[in-house]
Amino acid sequence: MKEYFYRVRTNWISFWEIRARRYEFLISFAGLFFIMVAMLQYLQINEKRMGVQVADPLLAMLPTIDMSALTFFLLYTSIITAILMLTSQPHRLLIGFQIYALYAIFRTTTMWLTPLEAPAGITPLIDPLLAWASTGQQLNKDLFFSGHTSTMFILYLVMPAGRARTVFFFGFIAIAISLLFQHVHYSVDILAAPFFCYGAMGITLKARKMLHLDAELHDWQSTDSDSNTLQKRHARHTSVSGAV
């Protein structure tokens, strides 16, 4: 635990000492915040729109089971774990913010373009956080594409390669299956989610290169053990510099 807090402190000092990075991080965080607030506002408008109910052969074959408890246990445990793991890697956290902001723009746009009614046999998914953020209104029409599936898949994408990333992938699969059994999404909503997330990541990384913000992308491609090695080397370098 002591080593973890030391890595966090050392890496954030190194990251924060460059003015351009400070500005980029603050702008990215503020942008994500306002985009999420706007999307929450749109969700309430979207709930009042008339949509189309689609026949889904896959859902028709599945029994309806309330999987809310498992879904939110997996999702919020994963979010907390990812934040704790990425806190020591500010570059990766920064890019994660940017990917998630673009995903939110994609999702709001696709919901506007494809108004849908909830699937037949739905068992409403009661999200405690979203219910609080949306002033208690139950949301059933935020369908194409799945936000819970996308969030879990983005957590998988932003993690460094290693065992933890594999665990997040299986968490993504578990949440996707849970949503299908609860009939809160059409199968296409869930199948499409990873493609939009990959698109958001690809556009973000491409834009960073075009804007010459790709200096940290070597760390984006690193494995879990590579990240720890880089952090330890930087810590030793900082200690030696301080001693000199």
What's the pLDDT tens digit per position in 202-227?
Answer: 999 999 989 888 655 556 666 555 55
d(CA 51, CA 167): 36
Residue 139 lies in a domain: yes
Residue 22 lies in a domain: yes
Query: First and final CA of the chain: distance in angstroms?
Result: 27
Evaluate whether 116 touches 175 at the Cβ level (below 8 Å): no
Residue 141 lies in a domain: yes
Residue 106 lies in a domain: yes
Quote the pTM value. Answer: 0.86
Evaluate whether 134 touches 43 at the Cβ level (below 8 Å): yes
What's the pLDDT tens digit per position in 59-87?
Answer: 999 999 999 989 999 999 999 999 999 99
Predicted local distance difference test score (pLDDT) of residue 238: 40
Range of the domain at 50: 2-233
Residue 239 lies in a domain: no
Number of domains in the chain: 1
Ranking 21-25, 160-164, 191-195, 222-226 by mean pLDDT, the lowest is 222-226
140 exposure class (CB count in 10 Å sphere: 0-12, 13-18, 19+): middle
Residue 20 lies in a domain: yes
d(CA 161, CA 221): 8
pLDDT band at 134 (very low <50, low <70, confident <90, very high): low
Q: Is pLDDT larger for residue 234 or for residue 44?
A: 44
Please give the average per-residue pLDDT across 41-48, as a whole number. 92
Residue 238 lies in a domain: no
Residue 172 lies in a domain: yes
Max Cα–Cα distance, the chain, nearest Å: 70
Predicted local distance difference test score (pLDDT) of residue 243: 41
Predicted local distance difference test score (pLDDT) of residue 31: 97
Tell me: pLDDT of 174 over 90.
Answer: yes
Predicted local distance difference test score (pLDDT) of residue 235: 44
